[in-house]
Chain A
Amino acid sequence: GAVVSQHPSWVICKSGTSVKIECRSLDFQATTMFWYRQFPKQSLMLMATSNEGSKATYEQGVEKDKFLINHASLTLSTLTVTSAHPEDSSFYICSARDYGGRLGYTFGSGTRLTVV
């Protein structure tokens, strides 16, 4: 089946630094990538949607200059949390969709970010 590899699985960083999270589709072409954030005991919150080769579309209230998304190839998308602060500590999850959605939505394993 379709697999999305997400790295790192967890990261601890100091306040003010930047963190990059990678998601790679291993056996299909991820035309669209969705980036989510999830706080404890809450549902998934969509942050942005990116299509390969295009600028990401951010959801209302999500700072595009803080959460940089790159989707330069059909197998790789990255989310960079810039100038991270403790309130950015959360579980970040990517989800990839192939062209036409035949494979559905495939989730990465998630990244637990802790900003200290």
Chain B
Amino acid sequence: QKEVEQNSGPLSVPEGAIASLNCTYSDRGSQSFFWYRQYSGKSPELIMSIYSNGDKEDGRFTAQLNKASQYVSLLIRDSQPSDSATYLCAVNAGNNRKLIWGLGTSLGVNP
């Protein structure tokens, strides 16, 4: 069974710090990896997508992918209180267009 695992948290960081979110997946055939942010009562919004090994940076966000270790992470630099949300890791295993979701990590950024 294909699985995506995340620490549920809550993860608490002070404002201005780096928040590090981790995700592991079981299917070695996975090809596309996504980080979504979800505020309470809202639908998920895409933060980052990554498809190849290495780092991908977009503003304060950096996604890191290591397919050999089946590991994908999200770093949030200069964390802001507005970053407080649940972060969902999702993986697409190629021809199967479905996304496999982790349970999410709750992040709290303290002013």
**A residues apposed to B, CB below 8 Å:** 6, 32, 34, 42-44, 46, 49, 91, 93, 95, 97, 101, 104-105, 107-110, 112
Contact = CB atoms under 8 A, between A and B. Distances in A.
B97 A97 contact: yes
Interface stretch (B16-24, B65-73, B77-85, B98-106): B98-106
A43 B88 contact: yes
Interface of B: 32, 34, 41-46, 49, 88, 90, 92, 97-99, 101-104
Contact of A108 (B41, B43, B92, B97): B43
8 contacts: A43-B88, A49-B97, A49-B98, A95-B99, A104-B34, A104-B49, A105-B99, A110-B42
A11 B55 CA distance: 42
Main secondary structure of the interface of A (DSSP, over half): strand
A43 B43 contact: no
B101 A34 contact: no
B95 to A, nearest CB: 11
A44 B34 contact: no
Contacts of A44: 44, 88, 101
Contacts of B97: 32, 49, 97, 101
A96 B32 CA distance: 16
A97 B92 CA distance: 12
A110 B34 contact: no
A32 B43 CA distance: 18
B103 A107 contact: no
A77 B103 CA distance: 26
Contacts of B101: 43-44, 46
Contact of A105 (B46, B103, B104): B46
A108 B45 CA distance: 9
Q: Which 3 A-B pairs have the closest CB atoms?
A: A110-B43, A43-B103, A107-B43
Contacts of B32: 101
